[in-house]
Structure 1
């Protein structure tokens, strides 16, 4: 099964439990690093998630994966918070990030740059507006390669 297939199966398996318990599925990764495969599940909730909650989610998912056995390869399961520099992937992630500091990378240069960091001023399905303190940049959403919350010192 492809990495995308694994991610989709895991998300579908886990989503009803997360909805019931008030958690948000932030991301699912299935990657090979060195000689090991990792299934990483990032979960959050309003006010943050703690280690005990991650443990409960991990147990629930591990039991379901053992029952269904959808992943043919051996892997290491990790369930955690997305952290302070949470990735922004879905439109609602960007909407929640308006007014916060973000780090954006683009597929191609915009105004001579492919990396942007600053306060997210606005977001819609077509573009986002970011202010670095020195300048305001407007970035088309279809040019965004990656985005995350940023801690700016």
Structure 2
């Protein structure tokens, strides 16, 4: 019995069993920042008349910015200095946002006609919704694995 307890402690970084709900909440947190950044980037890129590549780059940059900002805000509210809070946000969100952006933008880039859809087109919003849903579904297990090892959003929990 002691071996099983030690194995579980090692396997989950001392956090116990990580629930799918906990992983989904962490992923939803990232998804919110990513979605805001994606949409804002596409709106700005479209308004400025930029091409697909430039608009996608802006959307990705803004997705990371908003994803990190949400975590940063919460950690700063806990009274942590900015430098430490920034390190926590980078550690908590980088892999999650990167996976989410890879899947999200991959779906949009590979979906026939999606890159040419305009903000007023139903196709644009439908493909974006599908892309974000796919990114969420694929990122939840990544976050579950990371939290279980004391990484990712697990580093934020001590500040809540």
TM-score (normalised: structure 1): 0.26
> Which structure is richer in relative contact order (CA contacts within 8 A, separation 6 or more)?
2
TM-score (normalised: structure 2): 0.25
* More helix as a share of residues: 2
